Amino acid sequence: MHAIVVDVSIKDRDQTRRELRERTVPAVSQAPGFVSGFWMDYAEGKGHSVAVFESEAAARAMLERLPANAPKAVTVENVQVCEVVAHA
């Protein structure tokens, strides 16, 4: 398995949460190879997400669609594709 790990700056918390529920989460969760995903606020104006996919190819395919799926009220600060080496 591989995960896409994303750090964002959030400009409008309410708008971002609305877009996550209505557009981003459905789009990501319906992507081929999707396993699970988590979207989190961790500090004022900062967010973090982890979306796990069955393969590196599936994760990279979703990565290409990241700009179209990101809420408009966020700025993507960092993106990584990482191998999942353990999970519970």
pTM to 2 decimal places: 0.91
Give the per-residue pLDDT at 66: 87
User: What are 9-55's pLDDT values in tens digits?
Assistant: 999 999 999 999 999 999 999 999 999 999 999 888 999 999 999 99
Give me the residue label for tokens 């600060």: 77
Burial of 81 (0-12, 13-18, 19+ CB in 10 A): middle
Ordered structural domains, the chain, with CATH: 2-83 (3.30.70.100)
